[in-house]
Amino acid sequence: MDNTILALITSSITGVVTFFVGVAKTKKELEGMALNNVEKSLDIYSVIIDDLKGQIKELLVKVNELEEKVDSLTKENHELKEMLRK
């Protein structure tokens, strides 16, 4: 009888300890996975930001070209109006 009670107590203690160790291990694994996901997200956002920077530079070049064309056409229009007045 004593052996049975001792085995029951030992099994119970082992089960409780195993449970708490398992919970701690699972928490650490989840934290690691969360950090891994954050790192992947940062890498993706970094690529997106670099791509957007390139697009912005291209658009700024186009804007500057169009501003120059508008200035040129405005000047030409003004000159033509002056010619028509004479």
**pLDDT tens digit sequence for 32-53:** 999 999 999 999 999 999 999 9
If we measure between CA atoms, which residue out of 23, 43, 21 comes closest to residue 31? 23
Cα 26 from Cα 43, distance rounded (Å) = 26
Q: What is the pTM of this model?
A: 0.58
- Structure-token pair, residue 17: 């300890």
Cα 58 from Cα 53, distance rounded (Å) = 9
Q: What is the gyration radius of the CA atoms in the chain, in angstroms?
A: 37
pLDDT tops 90 at residue 80: yes
